[in-house]
Amino acid sequence: MQVLVVDDSALVRDIVTSIVVEAGYPQPLLAKDAREARMHIKRSVVDLILMDIQLPGIDGLQLTRQIRRNLKDDHWIPIIFLTIKDDADYLSEAIDAGGDDYLVKPVNKVVLLAKIHAMSRISKMKAALDETNLQLSRLTQIDSLTNTINRRGFDDALKHAWRLHRRNNEELCLLFLDIDGFKIYNDSYGHQQGDRCLRQVSELFKSCLRNESDLLARYGGEEFVILLPNTPLRAAEKLAQKVLNRLQQENISHPNSDTAPYITVSIGISTTRDGAVTGQKLLSQADRSLYMAKSNGRNQLCCYEDIEQLMVDSDT
């Protein structure tokens, strides 16, 4: 359990640190004001905050309201206030601001550890409940035909992956895949055979994924997306090329295709390195790359950075 101690007193920070470490918890993160506290929350996974109410500048109550407002769609962090005041109205205001408990200074070792253990149990129970709710939600986010994540599930996954990208400053890549000439395939063989083809192709896509973090979703019709957290562009290109090679090896017959006598796909690739400021922008860049791949003859991959380079070259 990673604890963040927010107090302008170096003595209090030292006392709390020694208690937490002696109890077997990791070395706490330390902050003397709201600015440093926000920095830690942004950069690290924080499981519990021990916070002085009377901080310089933005006080503990204001900071708590900011934390609750900014993290409401992310996760819950229990907050225990450290305070020298113990009148009822003051403590009631602290709880209303978003605090979960309080401890009157000077800090009592036994009481502090008891409160930390209690918050740890609550946090674990909430995590278990969140996981259960997530599993239930996933049941409504599965495409029944291909047994992959559906559009709704992908939208949620993209939001989550984007938060992790921002939080951990790790590269995030996205592949947009479209089966070439699939309308012709449906018209030639009928929708039942088309459905079988979609299932076969989606299984092939799944077999190309590298680990459980990679996510395949059916975006709609014959369009699929692959989300690649913590993945550099070159690794995303390698996976896309693997998909193209596997389809050639699989040789799913499509004699009426204008591209090849077998089922092929066009792939657009985007990465957070290309300046996307939102997950939807990242998706839009991959979609634009897909359009370029199709315009260039299909059955190939195209990266958004290649489009940007073409634009630069044309300007010069």
Span 246-268, pLDDT tens digits: 999 999 999 999 999 999 999 99
Domain boundaries, the chain: 3-133, 140-315
Q: Are 139 and 149 in contact (CB under 8 A)?
A: no
| Structure token pair of residue 12 | 């209090």
Span 127-170, pLDDT tens digits: 788 778 777 776 788 999 999 999 999 999 999 999 999 988 89
**Rounded-to-integer distance, Cα 82 and Cα 105, Å:** 6
- DSSP letter at 252 equals -
CATH architecture of the region 140-315: 2-Layer Sandwich (3.30)
| Structure token pair of residue 55 | 């901080």
pLDDT of residue 70: 85
pLDDT of residue 274: 92
Domains 3-133 and 140-315 fall in the same CATH topology: no
**Rounded-to-integer distance, Cα 67 and Cα 76, Å:** 9
pLDDT of residue 1: 81
Coil, strand, or helix at residue 79? strand
CA-nearest of 175, 307, 201 to 254 is 201
**Rounded-to-integer distance, Cα 210 and Cα 228, Å:** 9
pLDDT of residue 122: 84
Coil, strand, or helix at residue 277? coil
- Segments in the chain below pLDDT 70: 72-74, 138, 308-316
pLDDT of residue 31: 96
At the top level of CATH, which class does the domain 3-133 belong to? alpha beta
pTM score, two decimals? 0.60
